Structure formats: C-alpha cells, structure tokens
Chain A
Amino acid sequence: MDASLLTIQPASAEPIYRQIVEQLRRLIAGGQLPPGELLPSVRDVAGFHAVNPMTVSRAYSLAESEGLLERLRGKGMAVATTRKTSQTQTQRMALLEPQLSALARQARELELPAGPVVQRLSKLMGE
C-alpha cells in the first residue's frame, strides 16, 4: 500500500487519526487492502501528508487493537490475516451508521417522511 492511498483533511472536525482508521477500515472491508498487505511506515505517511508522526502511530495502534492490522516483526504493520476477509453484513452496515444518522437528521430538518427518502436511496443504489 502506498501512503498516497490515504486522504487527509486537516480542517475536518474528525481528528486525523480517526480519518486514517476509518479509511483503513473501509479499504480493508472493501477488499482493496488484502490480508497480509504491508502498510507504509509511519514516517512515509507522516512525510507524504506533512502530519505529525504521533498521529499516524496512534491510528495504526488503534487499528491494531481493533484487529484490522497486525505488527509483523521487522517488517512493520500489515493487514491482519487472522481475520475473516469479508465482514458480516452487520459489521459493514455499522460502517455506514454515521452517514445514515446525518441523512436522517437532514431529512427531519427538511420535514421529509421516510418513504420517499428510502425510495430515492434505493434508486441511487441501483435497485
């Protein structure tokens, strides 16, 4: 994996370490990062994106503690192999929860009933 695969938005209300963990989670869940794939070093990520290396370490440690990554002796971090490659639907669904909550809030603010919103969403998803 190359450091450029990550996108970092410093001005976002979401702390940078969380942005990194969320992206790793999605890339791994979606299969773009297969098990065993080596991650760029903390230095590479920090240097490429001009962010604090401690932030990157923190993201990696958090991802490791969640079982997304594992530390390989002498090689650095890699996508965990012990974990099942495809997650259950519930797990993948949980990844969408923040976006769904935001959508629900905005729909309420616009006083839109759930029916047409769900219908439109189904259409967007091509169903």
Chain B
Amino acid sequence: MLDSLKRFAQESWLLVAASLVCGLLLAATNAALGPRIEMNKTLKLTSLAANLLPEATSFTPLPEPIEVQGLDGRRESAVVFKATADDRLVGWAFKVTGSGFADKIELVTAVDASFQKLAGYDVVTSSETPGFGDQIKDNYYRSQFSGAPADKFTLVGGGAANPQEIDSTIVAISGATISSTAVVQAMNHYLPQFKEQLQQKGLIGHGSNP
C-alpha cells in the first residue's frame, strides 16, 4: 500500500506542482486584468452609442438589467444605458440582436429621451457578406433609421420608396434582402419591448406627447 502510494507520488509530483504553479499564474493574471476586461466590454457599447448621440457626455447603465424576450423566445437580460449631458437626459442606448444571413447581427441602438425617435444604430458584431449584407454598416442603410419614428418599420424593395425620406418605410439594400430584413426585424422585435419596460419603470412618459 505504502509502496504503490510512493510510486504514485513519484509519477505525479511534478504534475501536481505544475498544476499549482499554473493555477497561481492564472489566478494572478485574472485578478490583475479582470476589471480592465469588464471595462472594455462596456466601453465598446458606449463609444458606439456616443457617435449616435453626440450631445451626450456620459452613459450610465441602469442599475437593473431589463428582461426581454429574444427572437427565439428565450428570456434575455439586457442593459440599457441612460445618455446624459450634465444631468439632462439626452436619450437611451441598448443592444438589439437580429439573425442575419451568415450569423447573428448585434446592433447598438440609440433613441431620443422620450423614446419617440430613433437616433440611429451602429453595428457591433456581424459576419455578413462583404459588399452585400455588409452594407448594413454603411451610411446608405443606416441613415434611413436616423430620426425615424421608434415604431414598427416596414421593409420595401429598392425603388418602392425614397430612402432619403425619414419615416417608417425602409428601403432594403439591393442584393442583401436577408441582412436588411434582419435589421428591421431586430428593431421591430426589441424596440416595443424596451419602450414598454422603460415606461413601466416610469423612466419615460406614456403617449406621444414629449
């Protein structure tokens, strides 16, 4: 018994020692870099949102995340950022997800203070086809959402409406119907939910009066 124990110890002492060393290294690095990593995650969203709401000087996340239902029916918890300029409410920013041609599309969306108009969106993550669906990152498609009413959007084909007119009708990118639909679908699915939740929390008013 003692013999086999001794053999076991001989074979594996190095493994145990190495595991301890590696474990310590990992724990130390994680402790040192952890906070910075967390900060980077929020910074990514807020820096994109800052471009959409240029007046805002600070973005503070709401203390409690909002429960929304994803496109697949699953419950997700989402963080909403309050955009302020010296204590004056400028707008709200949050992330919406759509299912695109290649993979999921994540957009950071900003709305004005009363959740009446969209300030616009920017793409956080997407793997759409370069030159086609990738154009959801370009101004042609994005500008149609800037200043549009934060209500249900309808997607139409090119030529059926004027893309310069900012309203609830969105002209799809030619050759990229699925990617265009993904953005509209994401907006239509998430905007009402965020609006309702913010109204429930009493953070924005009801009705269409500013």
| A and B associate | no
Interface residues of A (CB under 8 A from B): none
